[in-house]
Amino acid sequence: AQSVTQPDIHITVSEGASLELRCNYSYGATPYLFWYVQSPGQGLQLLLKYFSGDTLVQGIKGFEAEFKRSLSSFNLRKPSVHWSDAAEYFCAVGGPGGGTSYGKLTFGQGTILTVHP
C-alpha cells in the first residue's frame, strides 16, 4: 500500500528565510506526487505536481520541489518565505492509471508552517 510521511509536524521560520518541507513516500511504481497548501478556512490548493521528466518542478507562489527516486523523497522548497505562506502543507501521492488516479490520493500528515516577522 502506498504511504506518505511528512516528518515535520510544525516548522517555524522567519520571513525572508529559506524553507524546505520534507516528504517521503512509499509506492510500488513510479508515483504521481503533489504538494497542496491549506490556509485556515480555505480549501486545498495545488502548489505543484510531478509525473515524469525533469525531477525539479516549479509551482505557484515561488515554490519548487525535487523528486529524488533514490531517496523516495519529494521535498518542497522556497528560497524566501513570505508571511502569507503561513499555512498547512500536505504532500500526496497518487498512482498511474488515468483520471481517477489523480483524484484518489494518499496524503501525508501535513506540516504546519509558522512565519515570524
Note the residues at the interface with another protein (CB under 8 A). Answer: 32, 34, 36, 41-44, 46, 49, 51, 90, 94, 99-110
Using only C-alpha atoms, the chain has a radius of gyration, in whole angstroms, of 14
By C-beta, is 15 or 38 nearer to another protein? 38
* CB 92, min distance to another protein, A: 8
* CB 73, min distance to another protein, A: 18
In single-letter form, the type of residue at position 62 comes to G
By C-beta, is 51 or 62 nearer to another protein? 51
C-alpha cell at 89: 502543507
How many of the other CB atoms lie within 10 Å of CB of 65? 26
Distance, in Å, from the CA atom of 80 to the CA atom of 53, rounded to the nearest integer, reads 26
By C-beta, is 28 or 117 nearer to another protein? 28
Q: Are 54 and 78 in contact (CB under 8 A)?
A: no
* CB 62, min distance to another protein, A: 19
Distance, in Å, from the CA atom of 50 to the CA atom of 47, rounded to the nearest integer, reads 11
By C-beta, is 28 or 99 nearer to another protein? 99
* CB 41, min distance to another protein, A: 8
